[in-house]
Structure 1
Amino acid sequence: MRDSDTIDFGIDLGTTNSAIATVEDGAAVVIKTNDGWDITPSAVWMPKPGVVHVGRRARERVEIDRDNAAAEFKLEMGLADARRQFVKAGVDLSPQQLSAEVLKSLRADAAHHCGAAPEFAVITVPAAFALNQNKATTEAAALAGFNPACPLVQEPTAAAFAYGFHDAGDRAYWMVFDFGGGTFDAAVVSKRDGDLRVLNHSGDPYLGGKLIDWALVERVLVPVVSRELGFKEFRRDNPAWRAAFSRLKAAAEEAKIQLSRHDSIDMMVDLFGPDGTEETFEYTLRRDELDAVAEPFYARAINLCQAALTEASLDAEDIDRLLLVGGATLTPGLRERLADPRLGIGIQLDTSLDPTTVVARGAAIFASTIRRPATTSLATIAPDEFLLELAYEPSVTTTTPTVGGRVTSKSTVDWTGYAVILSNPAGMPAYRSPKISLNAKGAFVTEVSVDQHRTSRFTVELTDPTGVPRKVTPNTLSITHREVEFGGVRLTHSLGIQLADRGFAPILRKGTTVPVRAREVFQTSSALQRNDSDAVVRIPVVQGERSRGDRNREVGMLEIRPRDIRVDLPAGTDVEVTFEVDASNLVTVVADVPLVDAQFEAEIDLDNVRTAPPQALQVQLNEAESRLATLRGSAMNSDSAEAERRLAKLAEENAIATAREHVLAAKVDVGAAAFAENRLRDLQADLDDIEDAVQLPTLVHQLRAMLKEGEELATHAGTPQDRQDLAELRRRAQDAIDTNNPAAVRTQIERVGTFMVELERRSPDWPVKLFYALQDMLPASREATALVREGKQAMAARDPRALDAVNQRLIRLLPQEAQDNIIGLRRT
């Protein structure tokens, strides 16, 4: 086993194929399988109890022994209701357990290559993975025999690492285009003066080559099979045809691969008819047919790239190269589309590294920058031994890095006269430090010299006051000099809470470097009475980028109940919410209520995430289809160019048709259900944006009318300060209009409305105006009728105090959201 104090192993745990690489002499080396291949198919075959085959042999069995083989289970990671049955073995396994078998195989290959199985490895995950999917990956690593503390890194980040350490240039912007078997990620990368930094991510955890395979099956092959072979009710969701669809899917995937090198391919698939008779299906698939079917998926990937560029405030012209990652990028049609500045992105393609192994290589390079966690402690060393706690960076861009350390012992020691020496006899030239005295706490700090572009290995010698060498553990460290330094792992999704009005309040923004901690103060929208046992304040914890909280993914729930508090909480009570994310992207959320000096931790249950049932998905699909049809008509009438642009984007991505296919397949495929749920959530959010765009002209007209009315109010009843405030509101309103952002225009409408209300409140007839406004807002009830009668009596008696009291009671009859709007309860 190698003598290294860094992790050094990187694993690309892929949907279709996986790979493991390691760093040797400063270079990333892909570890081959026993068959001599660079990649291991992510497939498991269990032909009988206790027998497990992983890789190529298992992949061949998926299409012919569906009851005992499984593949493409990565897309189901983190779903509690996703399990694969192995009939002959008599077991059913979760995606985590299946992924663990793949990781075990890769670990065994590493043991064969290096002489011992690695305890740690950096494992890659899609940037678009959610918290439950990342946690499931960590669990799979532990099941495979790796240490549970194995770090995770996003796949496009790992790919950028591989290219960054391979490229000699000093300054550049890159975009990673990672189109794999099951997921898609885009990342904008900056390389500046030795600093490699991921500026922004965008992606889809279910967009990959698998979708293209299924589209070929359902849109091209199935109609021909039904027509030529006479198969009845030949549908993917019909369990009777499960084996036939499995064979067609495998044949489509192989044909897609072959079409990377040929203009057409002759397919020949043996299928069993309903009476058990074997039928041979023959079809010549052309590359242009593949490109036509794949076009919507290419379009979605390109649109996600454009979104990543926009968020990073960059254009395609700013990007020097497009780094191609993933097997799907070998397709000529996709490469032509990407290179086209009108239909694609128009960035120079970089294919200098193997797209199927570049992620594993990058993960290994990243692993070589991470120290292995210490396995020794005071409890494990001998009585006459000393423990050394070291502090240094294992990968540096300087030739004179700093090394610090602290020596400890099981017994009390006077450190006066103790010293350490750091030496690297193999250095060029050889290096040996002078004696470095320990301070009163046994600590030291010094600079050392390292060789350029090499790994320098140092030995630490400890001597006591008499100059006698003493045994210290560990007594070695290694530092590698490189031209490039990594800027840190970043959050790929914003994290925050959903507010009472369904808005999203992000606390940790996408792109924040982890580990990180942040705190914000909010206010409760309703009261919590201790005598109401059914009352509860619920604060959903969500992950995503949408302005509406329920359009993002809920990952946890903060709950405050009467039994948890000592006094009643009035509406508007401060709640301090703290988010903390560690280096492994594990999230902790805590709510503090200063009024009662109580703390509540969010329940983030990542072990019970399930897909929606097929019936619920069908309801969501019907709603989306109906809403889309309505918005198409509204967009035509509104003359909104932005709405038309967004509608064209949905059509280009064939969003509804793709969602419909997977909703139907959800009856027999949990992975299809997960895709459908994710796509429908995104689709509803896209429809929100279209709805906003349709409403924008009306909102702009409303804002301008309110400003005009506000100007009249300020002229007749305002102060000079009011007129200055109005001028600032007018400036902000124009900025919002210029951005064509409906949310920004709505915000300015609220602000102008608040300004006008403040002016109105100063007028003597304000209680009367409020009373009439409340009458229009009130739901019908006996209590409301009585209060209205009482208010009219107060007006007749010219009693403003009595009318104000009536108004306050009327406000309490309104729905909570309306109360908040009137009272002005908002995020602080």
Structure 2
Amino acid sequence: MRNKIDYGIDLGTTNSAIARMENGIPTIKKSGTLKDTFPSCINFNKKQDVIVGDAAYNTMKNDNARALKTFENGQTNTFFEFKRTMGTTHTYESSNMGKSFSSEELSAEILKTLKSVIKDENISSIVITVPAKFLNPQNEATIKAAKLLGFKHIELLQEPVAAATAYGLDSKSKDGFWLVFDFGGGTFDAALIKAEEGILSVKDTGGDAWLGGKNLDEAIVDQIIIPNLQQNFAIESVLKDTDKKEILRNAVKFYAEEAKIQLSFKDSHNVLSNLGDLPFEDDNGDEPEIDVLVTQKDMENVLGPIFQKAIDITKDLLKRNNLKGSDLGALILVGGPTYSPILRRMLKEQITDKVDTTVDPMTVVAKGAALFASTISVSEEVKEGTRDKTKLQLDLKYEATSVEVDVMINLKVLKEKTTGTFPEKIFADIIRSDEAWSSGKKLISEKASLIDLVLAEGRSNSFEIQVYDEQGNKLECQPNQFSILQGIGGLEGMQVLPYHIGIGRHYRSEKKDLFFPIKGLEKTKRVPAIGVENGLKTRSAIRPGMISDIIRIPIYQGDYDAEGTNPLLNNLINEVVITGENLPAFLPEGSDVDITIKVDKSQIMQFSAYFPLLNYTEELELEIKPTESPEKEFLAQAITNAKKTASKVSANEIKDVLVNLEEQLEREGGSPDGRMKIQNDLRKELLKLDSAEKETEWPKVQQELKDSFYEFENLIKKIKENSDGEDLNLNQLENHIKEYKSTIEQIIKDKNIKTAKELTDEIDSLDTEIRNEVSGGAMDVNKIKYHDREFNTLKWKDKTKARQLINQGLQLIADGRTKDLRPILHQIWDLRIDAEGPTETPE
């Protein structure tokens, strides 16, 4: 029985690996082909056998070539790079199996193969790595894949954190900033790590879940190989058909991958196919062949822009943390594509010359995952299921990491968990695996005993527990070993939220819903985390027992610059739906709702809504909604609309990117993965466009703010000159003017449209209050008379009640009690359907 998880899996887009802690060392467990990693590729053959890894990858190459004979979709039974569609509704059809598979079902097959590598024990608990920029649906799908395989205890670990853990343990430098540059087969992550005396913390993350080696291969296909075929053969009919073009791209992708690998250590490479490798006839009846010499310069022209995207993300990450590349102690390379000399040169030129190549980019994540797993206790459920109660059961409590060399362990006997007969006096000797230190025999019992340990520096220390009776006879115990990482700390708090988690909130000044993070769930908050938002308002009444009466609260994930943007431009996690079915009593419109969202270490969420009026809490498991791959036509129209908006606001750089996305859609729109990637890039440009539109709006908003302030300032000046402010606190009003001046200066400096509008409303409201006060309530009188005059043209929630209130107001006017009109006006306003509602309102 293991006390800690000890196993880590790197479930990669293109390659996967498993590592286990052995004598304090994270050890890669090799596949059947004796390789550290194997391709994340699956084949279902005609016998309905499941083939995984290199054999499946070779079969895929042959299948993709054979598909050129008929150019028919749906004939393949081999699947690869399905990690890119994790958390989506997309499925992969296998004719041999007679069914379709989700990405998580295919991932479960990869996990099964990794699990089968371990021959000497059954694994119930596992740490699985995921990209830091994975969204919640992708994380949830990863956990689902592990559950399909029967894992009982699953922890997700962000890949850069795993890499930093492995690097940090061996690093001689225990202080400073590190940058993990993780360019994998399908995803890119950048993580800024701070080390202080060996204590690690993640300061910020950036990345792109649709940027990786797959994009490099596709770029070589689209910009080198297919143009070469197009130049020498008549293949226009294939290129004009989206499905046929995608089949051709898949068939020649292997040549692209080979060229990429060869040019990692050669100056040039001849991409050459053999006769029959591309078994189709072009429009002239000829069988195409590939024959093109690719140089380092060619490769740089093609791959450079893709690598530049990752470098730009890294630059932004450093910039928003007020750092430069020169401030970094190390830039740590992770992922196969980081072997590229092109990328390494670009990183040294643009970020830092401290590019660290001491770790193996292909295995560092799996090793780091195992190290991290050695600090996580196995769940009680798993422990109970794996106990051998004939052995003496022990309870161990200790810190799994330490920057000190002298530590302690809390050890006691669990006789109630033991069925065997054991002596009264029991002694334990704790021996370090290098046999250079032992505790000596210590008396232990059912009461906790503290035993001093001495750690070897800068490594994972493995200890064996040997238990004896009074006569020195050895007794079997469980667990009988444990390990402590020395020279590193803070791992339990390293994982942070990669996105803001928030909701859409209605801003009266903006006259629309905007995304805002929930307090406590902002980007880079450590997980587990709890977010609370109080005082939200219901937009309609909810009747008890009525399932048709609904409160909708959409939950979104947004990046660091998402606050104040259109919620729909962010990533919808799910829409919480609360009905009247379980409510104990009637909930009026405009009632308070307090929401709480708990996020665990794997970013899985629990949601609760508290209704103060009813003293009732609704608790919901926040089921994550899978995303759908958009249709090509939808993306084409969305890009067209965005281009029009970009032209309107003169956002030429954005327009250029949109034109490139249009071309990209033509190349890659045949695959769900390609469309998801384009949608992701389009969303980024739409967010920029949203900001650009606000920039064009700013001059008008700024002028309105200034006008409101000057009008208010002149009002106070005239009141002082005419001595009309008997009932006003003029000193307080003059202080307001000073505060407003200071605030307006900052708003103008920041060009903060939302705050400018809110302050304009506040000044206008105060201006109206004062004018009403000095005029003896004349403005309130006019408002009552307006509502009376326009009664039949206005829209009311309750027409009878509105009429009664207006009549009360008219009577107060007739009685000369104009100062009592304000409460009635508030009630009238609340009954207006066309009036703007409260500032915070989930639908």
TM-score by length of 1: 0.84
CA contact (8 A) 1:498 1:540 kept: yes
Deviates more, 1:748-757 or 1:519-528: 748-757
Q: Please, which of 613, 620, 626 is the counterpart of residue 644 of structure 2?
A: 626
Alignment-derived partner of residue 232 in structure 1: 236
Task: Determine the C-alpha separation between the residues in 2 that align with 1:310 and 1:537.
Answer: 41
Displacement of 1:618 after TM fit?
3.1
1:527/1:45 CA distance change after superposition, 3 Å: closer
Summarize the alignment of residues 61-80 of structure 1 with structure 2, pairs less than 5 Å apart.
61-66=59-64, 67-80=76-89
- 1:670 maps to a residue whose letter is P
1:471/1:431 CA distance change after superposition, 3 Å: closer
Structure 1, residues 407-460: CA drift from partner, whole Å, max 9, x if none?
Answer: 5555999xxx9776442245534313643565xxx5555544444446242537
Alignment-derived partner of residue 554 in structure 2: 540
1:73/1:287 CA distance change after superposition, 3 Å: same
CA contact (8 A) 2:518 2:533 kept: no
Structure 1, residues 163-191: CA drift from partner, whole Å, max 9, x if none?
Answer: 21121112120111111121111100111
Displacement of 1:384 after TM fit?
8.6
CA contact (8 A) 2:331 2:352 kept: no
Whether 1:695 aligns to 2:714 is no
Alignment-derived partner of residue 734 in structure 1: 745
Alignment-derived partner of residue 639 in structure 1: none
Task: Determine the C-alpha separation between the residues in 2 that align with 1:758 and 1:796.
Answer: 18
Q: Please, which of 499, 503, 522 is the counterpart of residue 535 of structure 2?
A: 522
Summarize the alignment of residues 266-305 of structure 1 with structure 2, pairs less than 5 Å apart.
266-269=270-273, 270-271=277-278, 272-273=280-281, 278-305=287-314
Displacement of 1:74 after TM fit?
0.6
Whether 1:125 aligns to 2:130 is yes
Structure 1, residues 390-409: CA drift from partner, whole Å, max 9, x if none?
Answer: 32223333333233356555
1:758/1:287 CA distance change after superposition, 3 Å: farther
CA contact (8 A) 1:6 1:371 kept: yes
Structure 1, residues 483-508: CA drift from partner, whole Å, max 9, x if none?
Answer: 11134222222223222423323231
Whether 1:484 aligns to 2:488 is yes
Gaps of 5+ in 2: 65-75, 507-512, 720-724
CA contact (8 A) 1:527 1:568 kept: no
- 1:279 maps to a residue whose letter is P
Deviates more, 1:673-682 or 1:385-394: 385-394
Displacement of 1:805 after TM fit?
4.9
Alignment-derived partner of residue 155 in structure 1: 159
Structure 1, residues 652-679: CA drift from partner, whole Å, max 9, x if none?
Answer: 8x4552365247744x422223223322
Displacement of 1:747 after TM fit?
4.7
Question: Secondary structure, in 3 states, of the residue corresponding to 2:117?
Answer: helix
Whether 1:368 aligns to 2:374 is yes
Deviates more, 1:504-513 or 1:474-483: 474-483
1:384/1:770 CA distance change after superposition, 3 Å: farther
Q: Please, which of 99, 102, 106 is the counterpart of residue 98 of structure 1?
A: 106
1:604/1:803 CA distance change after superposition, 3 Å: closer
Whether 1:190 aligns to 2:175 is no
1:521/1:431 CA distance change after superposition, 3 Å: same
- 2:129 maps to a residue whose letter is T
Task: Determine the C-alpha separation between the residues in 2 that align with 1:770 and 1:294.
Answer: 71
Whether 1:432 aligns to 2:440 is yes
- 2:604 maps to a residue whose letter is L
Gaps of 5+ in 1: 636-646
CA contact (8 A) 1:19 1:360 kept: yes
- 1:185 maps to a residue whose letter is D
CA contact (8 A) 2:401 2:488 kept: no
Alignment-derived partner of residue 203 in structure 2: 199
Whether 1:576 aligns to 2:576 is no
1:714/1:330 CA distance change after superposition, 3 Å: farther
Displacement of 1:128 after TM fit?
0.6
Structure 1, residues 529-559: CA drift from partner, whole Å, max 9, x if none?
Answer: 4288744221112222312332221112233
Task: Determine the C-alpha separation between the residues in 2 that align with 1:96 and 1:702.
Answer: 53
CA contact (8 A) 2:518 2:531 kept: no
1:520/1:77 CA distance change after superposition, 3 Å: same
Alignment-derived partner of residue 398 in structure 1: 404
Summarize the alignment of residues 699-778 of structure 1 with structure 2, pairs less than 5 Å apart.
699-715=701-717, 716=719, 719-760=730-771, 762-764=773-775, 768=779
Displacement of 1:117 after TM fit?
5.2
Task: Determine the C-alpha separation between the residues in 1 that align with 2:441 and 2:658.
Answer: 65
Alignment-derived partner of residue 588 in structure 1: 606
Structure 1, residues 686-719: CA drift from partner, whole Å, max 9, x if none?
Answer: 2112222333343333333333233233443552
CA contact (8 A) 1:591 1:599 kept: yes
Task: Determine the C-alpha separation between the residues in 1 that align with 2:518 and 2:745.
Answer: 26
Question: Secondary structure, in 3 states, of the residue corresponding to 1:70?
Answer: strand
Displacement of 1:315 after TM fit?
3.1
- 2:705 maps to a residue whose letter is L
CA contact (8 A) 2:127 2:370 kept: yes
Count matched residues. Answer: 788
Question: Secondary structure, in 3 states, of the residue corresponding to 1:459?
Answer: strand
Question: Secondary structure, in 3 states, of the residue corresponding to 1:428?
Answer: coil
1:558/1:606 CA distance change after superposition, 3 Å: closer
Whether 1:358 aligns to 2:364 is yes
Displacement of 1:158 after TM fit?
1.1
CA contact (8 A) 1:428 1:451 kept: no
Question: Secondary structure, in 3 states, of the residue corresponding to 1:521?
Answer: strand
- 2:641 maps to a residue whose letter is E
Alignment-derived partner of residue 329 in structure 2: 320
1:762/1:359 CA distance change after superposition, 3 Å: farther
Alignment-derived partner of residue 576 in structure 2: 558
Displacement of 1:273 after TM fit?
2.6
Summarize the alignment of residues 101-116 of structure 1 with structure 2, pairs less than 5 Å apart.
101-111=109-119, 115-116=120-121
- 2:554 maps to a residue whose letter is P
Task: Determine the C-alpha separation between the residues in 1 that align with 2:646 and 2:293.
Answer: 37
Whether 1:502 aligns to 2:520 is no
- 1:20 maps to a residue whose letter is I
Deviates more, 1:230-239 or 1:11-20: 230-239
Structure 1, residues 32-88: CA drift from partner, whole Å, max 9, x if none?
Answer: 3333332211111223233222222222232330412111111011212x2222333
Question: Secondary structure, in 3 states, of the residue corresponding to 1:688?
Answer: helix
Structure 1, residues 756-796: CA drift from partner, whole Å, max 9, x if none?
Answer: 455455443666379679989x99973469999x8999999
Task: Determine the C-alpha separation between the residues in 1 that align with 2:701 and 2:325.
Answer: 32
Displacement of 1:590 after TM fit?
0.8
1:419/1:538 CA distance change after superposition, 3 Å: farther
Task: Determine the C-alpha separation between the residues in 2 that align with 1:630 and 1:290.
Answer: 37
1:538/1:481 CA distance change after superposition, 3 Å: closer
Displacement of 1:255 after TM fit?
1.8
CA contact (8 A) 1:530 1:568 kept: yes
Alignment-derived partner of residue 10 in structure 1: 8
Task: Determine the C-alpha separation between the residues in 2 that align with 1:783 and 1:509.
Answer: 41
Question: Secondary structure, in 3 states, of the residue corresponding to 1:401?
Answer: strand
CA contact (8 A) 1:455 1:480 kept: yes
Task: Determine the C-alpha separation between the residues in 1 that align with 2:415 and 2:175.
Answer: 48
Task: Determine the C-alpha separation between the residues in 2 that align with 1:236 and 1:25.
Answer: 59
